Amino acid sequence: IVVFRPDDSGRDRLVAYLTAHSHGRVSFEDMRRFLEAKLPGYMVPSIFVVLDALPLTPNGKIDRRALPVPSRSQTGLEADFIPARTPLEEVLAAIWAKLFDLERVGVQNNFFRLGGHSLLAVQLIGRIRGAFKMELPLRTLFESPTIEELARAMIQRETAPGQTEKLAQLIKRVQGMSAKEVRKALQKKS
């Protein structure tokens, strides 16, 4: 059964609850790949929870309220972590980490596997617009659901070569400054 519900941190996730036969072992990654070949990315669960048996109501239907709260650790996020390699990827990773309330996000982590959905996609596009003054269509995230793919898509859309990376470097520099240092730098400019 697949349901949309909060995990242990309160973030809404698409969660798959399943039982497994003892004679076969399928990895969550294999299940994700299979589902990604059949469904759009936003419909693939971000968390898989294996149960001995699905809870049932007295009528024999699945008792959705009795399903356990999933854990963020069940996303498989730490597997194959690849850190940001460019300032643009670093800024995007910071935006994603804040959006998902995570300590870190790798450049190949998929937005939808992290629990992203259409409302979070709109928020992400808005934060990118605010930081980079760039209009990205929402479909860009659906077509480029990882940080490294999204960074490439943003570079392809820039009006002047190199401007996105330069802006990312500036954003990183300002993020590393105290409020007092920012005021002082702004006073020097005027």
Q: What is the pLDDT of residues 129-155, one digit of tens each?
A: 999 999 999 999 999 999 999 999 999
Model confidence at 107, pLDDT cuts 50, 70, 90, reads very high
CA distance 148 to 83: 10
What confidence category does residue 118 fall into, taking pLDDT thresholds of 50, 70 and 90? confident
What separation in angstroms does the CA of 145 have from each of 57, 94, 117, 130?
Answer: 38, 15, 11, 19
Q: How many CB atoms lie within 10 A of CB 112?
A: 22
Calpha distance 102→70 (Å, rounded): 16
Q: How far apart are CA 96 and CA 84, in angstroms?
A: 12
How many percent of the chain have pLDDT more than 90? 34
**pTM value > 0.75:** no
Residue 107, CA distances (Å) to 20, 53, 55, 94, 186 in order: 32, 36, 37, 11, 32
Is the pLDDT at 190 greater than 70? The verdict is no
78/83 Cα distance (integer angstroms)? 11
User: At 78, is the secondary structure helix, strand, or coil?
Assistant: coil
